[in-house]
Amino acid sequence: MGSAQADTKASGEFARDMRYIPTRITADGRDGYPVEADRYRLIIARACPWANRAAIVRRLLGLEPVLSMGICGPVHDERSWTFDLDPSGVDPVLRIPRLRDAYLARDPDYPLGITVPAIVDVPSGQVVTNDFPTMTIDLSTEWVRYHRDGAPDLYPESLREEIDEVSELVFTDVNNGVYRCGFASSQGAYEQAYDRLFARLDWLEDRLTRRRYLVGDTITEADVRLFTTLVRFDAVYHGHFKCNRNKLTEMPALWAYTRDLFQTPGFGDTIDFAQIKEHYYVVHTGINPTQIVPKGPDPSGWLTPHHRAELGGRPFGEGTPPGPPPRDERVPSLK
């Protein structure tokens, strides 16, 4: 979530600050922000796994024509994510050089981290929300009238309780678990986080040996949330965050599962490994003071056969895959 809101406990344990702007964009506009086409701009960074969730869900649901997307560069300073990928370093829609400007437009005394993903109200230039867990659920449930024909149901009502239960385990032990390893400041805190992470990965390996997707027989919100950590595992978390019991490529079911999703339209076409590596290895100078970015691993394995279709399942349920991403949102193809 870049510029992560975090603290370190006396025990050396990393503690993520989960205070976000809770305002929601809803069909009935009860928080003052009704769902509208062309009113809002989703701000992400390719590097950030939390922002990656929103980018994937937007793609799968086909919201590109009604919800524009701005992309920050992979490296930021202590103040803010910046739009250094854009001409003159200014977002072409919001006309600001730093995401911080949209936060301060909403609250000049905003005291918390400047995080992505964030959704900005374009007319006012103010951040509406950066509450990443709720954001993707709302894209699925509140933006329904703008979903593309054939959009999948990523949060089916009959499976919501199980999706929420699995997602909470994945968040605690895996999504946030890799950060609890990487930013631990004591040996004991690190080892505790490490053990929890790999115990949960073993649990997921067993679960996904027998089934194609985490919950039900189609892609759901739970898969999106797990994918964004797993796709970064070997490139970043294994070495940089010391999550090195084994690589993702050494866990057969999880490696095949993540390749299956990577090769599914809407997933791999949001991933830029160069930006992912640059962010972690350059920004986290407390962990990597030389700021040297590793040359590997070789990404070509992501395109190898996964054979997951043999487990059954229908990726999009009764729906269809999304079309190609807009030209200005394409990521470099793997060699």
State the alpha helices, DSSP H only, in the chain: 49-61, 100-106, 132-141, 160-170, 177-182, 187-210, 221-230, 252-262, 273-283
Q: Is the pLDDT of residue 298 over 80?
A: yes
Report the C-alpha gap between 32 and 35 in whole angstroms: 10
CATH hierarchy code of domain 161-329: 1.20.1050.10
Determine if the peptide bond prior to 117 is cis (ω within 30°): yes
- Mean pLDDT of all residues belonging to the chain: 96
Token representation of residue 302:
């992501």
Cα separation values, 60 from 102, 185, 221, 296, 315, Å = 27, 38, 11, 29, 11
Beta bridge partners of 7: 15
Q: Is the pLDDT of residue 5 over 80?
A: no
SS3 content of the chain, % helix, strand, coil (to 5): 40, 10, 50
pLDDT, tens digit, 9 for 90 and up, residues 70-122 = 999 999 888 899 999 999 999 999 999 999 999 999 999 999 999 999 999 99
Global pTM value: 0.96
Report the C-alpha gap between 330 and 326 in whole angstroms: 7
Report the C-alpha gap between 288 and 66 in whole angstroms: 40
Helix (H) or strand (E) holding 119: strand 118-121
**What is the model's pLDDT at position 335?**
65
Q: Is the pLDDT of residue 8 over 70?
A: no
Q: Which regions of the chain carry the CATH code 1.20.1050.10?
A: 161-329
Q: How many helices (H) and strands (E) does the chain have?
A: 9, 6
Token representation of residue 333:
């193809």
- Stretch 222-244: mean pLDDT: 98
What does the chain come to in residues? 335
**Which residue in the list 20, 40, 48, 190 is annotated as catalytic?**
48
Task: Tell me whether residue 179 is one of the annotated catalytic residues.
Answer: yes
Q: Which regions of the chain carry the CATH code 3.40.30.10?
A: 6-146
Tell me whether residue 81 is annotated as binding: yes
**What is the model's pLDDT at position 227?**
99
pLDDT, tens digit, 9 for 90 and up, residues 169-179 = 999 999 999 99
Task: Tell me whether residue 72 is one of the annotated catalytic residues.
Answer: no
**Which residue in the list 179, 213, 280, 281 is annotated as catalytic?**
179
User: Could you give the maximum distance between any two Cα atoms of the chain, in Å?
Assistant: 54
CATH hierarchy code of domain 6-146: 3.40.30.10
